[in-house]
Structure 1
Amino acid sequence: MSSFDDKVALTIEGMDSKARGIARMDGYVVFVPGALVGETVMAKFVERRKHYGIAVIESILKSSDYRVPPKCKYYEACGGCDLQHASYDHQLHIKNELVVEAIGRIGKWPDFDVEPTLPSPQVWRYRNKAIFQARYQGGRKKLGYFAKGTHEVVEIDDCPILDPLLNDIYRLAKCAIEDSDITFYDEHRGKGLVRNVVVRSSLSSQKALMALVLSRKPYPTELNGLKRISAQLVDDKPFNLQGILLNINASGGNFVWGPSTLLLAGDDSLQERLGAFELCYGI
């Protein structure tokens, strides 16, 4: 078998649930992010374990007919989504195959039928929730998504899978918070106040909520600053931001929410219509 640093030619035979291509070298499984079934790629190992390895694409020797240019300019760096390099029809096929794999090979069900994956009438601008990472990195505050496989924040100005209202609110909140005295979380030092900014919209009413997730209970001056910023954002009527909540998560790890939540400004719920149903929910 090739050494860890060698480049190897791999033929992609399948896809896993993380949208990584699957190749095999004499029975040894190699996961290749960004590769599609049927492709042959020149890849380099970045991780090797006893039963599997991970390799990154150096070049594509044979491209899939289903490969398309990603619509998002941040796609290669950002960890927000995984399949923009595949056509939408092929994405549906991949998801169907993953269900078949989960039920048949992993679940070991002997007889079953899986209906084709139904396409969405709205391929872009459909997602009504986003969790942005607030970090102090490189000597400044950064708000965005984590880069793939890291905790390095990728700042964006527009996410093509998000409801446009959430993109507007993200840009509004980014400017307001970054220009304030409110600190962002520094993972290396375990200091800084804001860890996450969570936004959710109602697609039918085109209204939204926001939550600021903090690393600790804010000091009185910090709380007053957060209330002031929140009131200004909610009062900016064209953005339809209905309310801003504060959540405190002092624990370690990647779980977003803590046990304590309070309302900073506006309302704490949204109304959504789904067919004949009227739904009421929070952030």
Structure 2
Amino acid sequence: MKQGQVVKLKTEKISSDGSCIARAPDGLVVFIPGALPGEVVRGRIAVRKKEYAVASLEEIVEKAPGRRTPACPLFGYCGGCQLQHADYETQLNLKRSIVQDAFERIYRNPFPIIEPCIPSPSEWNYRNKTSLPVRKKEGSLSMGYYARRSHEVVPVHSCPVLLREMELLPGVLHRELSHTGMPPYDERTGRGLLRHVIMRCSAGSGEILVSLVAARKLTEDERKQLETDLLPRLIHVMPGLKTVTVNYNLSKGNVILGGNTEVLLGDGLISEPIPPLRFLYDTTAFFQINTDVAGILYKEAARMALSEGAERVLELYSGVGTLSCFLAKDGASVTAVEEWAAAASLMKENARLNGLSCRLEVFAGPAEDGTPWENRRYDCIVVDPPRSGCSREVLNRIGALSAPRIVYVSCNPATLARDSGILLERGYSPVEIKCFDMFPQTVHVETAVLFERQRH
């Protein structure tokens, strides 16, 4: 099988990047973006490696029952969504299968039946945050999303997965920023000023935060132009605008945000209710992008953690304290650890706002530095790490605490399954696995797993 050859294939299952997996007549694994499991397709081999190939979808010979026409005209070119061509029931089934596959391939030990994926109340217009890279294209400022497997920017003027208050704002911001003359950032040379535009919107209050990510410090003239020219126009065209910030990212890597943020308008914060609680967060803080599903997830995670009467809970990777406050609200005394100093400060403020300060102790520092919290006894340990998962060092420290229960919240089934294997080595087995559709139209899935310490 050679590059450029067209082959007929029967697809088997979805991969973690949204491609479908098939096997060529010679047994080679072929990834086919745009296909769905159970389809017969013709694919043109675009990439041929020793152990696998990637094929472009040329023709669908037999369609899957769940196939539909994508709602967005940019689907397949923009890399933001991977599953718009699947109806919603199919998406939920695929996400459950991704979690199932990760545990079968990586964990490789007995695990409980994975319940159907809990749906999002909104299939569209759910996302409360977006990050738009800015580049120079044909002499002009271009702003949008990266193309699939690329850093080419696909111009985007509206996006159907953004909250309705935000759906048309990419085009509005593109128009207004184009008037400023701010030079777009060039990844190759490191020159230019404007790297990304970040928008966040409260689903409950409608408050909007806009942050401009700059590659260097603003000059006095640039700052004056933003304050006297751009800000008045944004206030006029964005009724919900509450605050505008500039974040400085002076590095040349792929990380979006830097460590220093300045406020141009407002106080740099927006407020989000997740009933019955309310939370403040800023430009840099982690906050779940689907507020409705976040509320469902936090209540389920708190139930897992506290259902056996747990009173003392350790939570690692606590962010601005959303799950921490749900745990404390339900009666737990929570020790919360967060590395990002700004988020740790906001966690204290969120505990105060919700009347939970007496139940929430905050440590600002990395989870790897267990000194402040490891010489204590806990009834349950809760972790919600980044996509890379927990380090073995952290998992070993957790295991050494010998808490009866662990709740692991994850946005990456592969690292979740890997870490589940390490926890098994430390004496913990999964007893409940729930997945949540935090990200409709994408291949991503949120999962919460309850582990119990084995009794010997």
How would you bin the TM-score normalised by the shorter chain?
over 0.9
Structure-1 separation of matches of 2:152 and 2:111? 45
The residue identity in structure 2 corresponding to 1:67 is: R
Structure-2 separation of matches of 1:91 and 1:127? 17
C-alpha deviation, 1:243, in angstroms = 0.6
2:71 alignment partner in structure 1: 71
C-alpha deviation, 1:197, in angstroms = 0.3
2:3 alignment partner in structure 1: 4
2:46 counterpart of 1:46? yes
For residues 127-180 of structure 1, the C-alpha deviation after alignment (integer angstroms, 9 at most, x for no partner) is 111011110022211011112222222222221111121124323321111112
- Indicate how the Cα distance of structure 1 residues 233 and 169 shifts in structure 2: closer, same or farther if over 3 A, else same: farther
Q: Give 5+ residue unaligned stretches, structure 2.
A: 284-456
| Residue pair 2:2, 2:48 contacting (<8 A) in 1 also | no
| Residue pair 1:169, 1:241 contacting (<8 A) in 2 also | no
SS at match of 1:212: strand
Question: What pairs up with 1:146-161 in 2 under 5 angstroms?
Answer: 146-161=146-161
Select the structure that is richer in helix. Answer: 2
Q: Give 5+ residue unaligned stretches, structure 1.
A: none
C-alpha deviation, 1:81, in angstroms = 0.9
- Indicate how the Cα distance of structure 1 residues 196 and 229 shifts in structure 2: closer, same or farther if over 3 A, else same: farther
Select the structure that is richer in strand. Answer: 1
| Residue pair 1:234, 1:243 contacting (<8 A) in 2 also | no
Q: Does 1 or 2 have the higher relative contact order (CA < 8 Å, sep 6+)?
A: 2
2:76 counterpart of 1:88? no
C-alpha deviation, 1:90, in angstroms = 0.2
C-alpha deviation, 1:279, in angstroms = 1.2
2:21 counterpart of 1:22? yes
TM-score (norm 2): 0.59
| Residue pair 1:184, 1:195 contacting (<8 A) in 2 also | yes
For residues 219-269 of structure 1, the C-alpha deviation after alignment (integer angstroms, 9 at most, x for no partner) is 222222233345315532752111111111122232101121111112211
| Residue pair 1:234, 1:266 contacting (<8 A) in 2 also | no
The residue identity in structure 2 corresponding to 1:148 is: R
The residue identity in structure 1 corresponding to 2:184 is: F
1:191 alignment partner in structure 2: 191
Structure-2 separation of matches of 1:235 and 1:61? 52
C-alpha deviation, 1:76, in angstroms = 2.3
| Residue pair 1:234, 1:244 contacting (<8 A) in 2 also | no
Structure-2 separation of matches of 1:164 and 1:243? 19
| Residue pair 1:132, 1:196 contacting (<8 A) in 2 also | yes
Which range moves more in the overlay, 237-246 or 38-47?
237-246
C-alpha deviation, 1:54, in angstroms = 1.2
2:288 alignment partner in structure 1: none
| Residue pair 2:200, 2:210 contacting (<8 A) in 1 also | yes
The residue identity in structure 1 corresponding to 2:247 is: N
SS at match of 2:166: helix
Question: What pairs up with 1:30-179 in 2 under 5 angstroms?
Answer: 30-179=30-179
Which range moves more in the overlay, 237-246 or 61-70?
237-246
SS at match of 1:13: strand
| Residue pair 1:230, 1:265 contacting (<8 A) in 2 also | no
Structure-1 separation of matches of 2:243 and 2:151? 28
- Indicate how the Cα distance of structure 1 residues 214 and 114 shifts in structure 2: closer, same or farther if over 3 A, else same: same
Q: How many residues align?
A: 282
Which range moves more in the overlay, 160-169 or 5-14?
160-169
For residues 99-153 of structure 1, the C-alpha deviation after alignment (integer angstroms, 9 at most, x for no partner) is 1111222122313221111122211101111011110022211011112222222
1:225 alignment partner in structure 2: 225
Structure-2 separation of matches of 1:10 and 1:91? 22
2:213 counterpart of 1:213? yes
| Residue pair 2:177, 2:230 contacting (<8 A) in 1 also | no
| Residue pair 2:176, 2:234 contacting (<8 A) in 1 also | no
- Indicate how the Cα distance of structure 1 residues 238 and 5 shifts in structure 2: closer, same or farther if over 3 A, else same: closer
Larger radius of gyration: 2
TM-score (norm 1): 0.94
| Residue pair 1:137, 1:186 contacting (<8 A) in 2 also | no
| Residue pair 1:165, 1:239 contacting (<8 A) in 2 also | no
SS at match of 2:200: strand
Structure-2 separation of matches of 1:78 and 1:99? 25
| Residue pair 1:182, 1:225 contacting (<8 A) in 2 also | no
Which range moves more in the overlay, 179-188 or 64-73?
179-188
Identical-residue share of aligned pairs (%): 35
The residue identity in structure 1 corresponding to 2:108 is: K
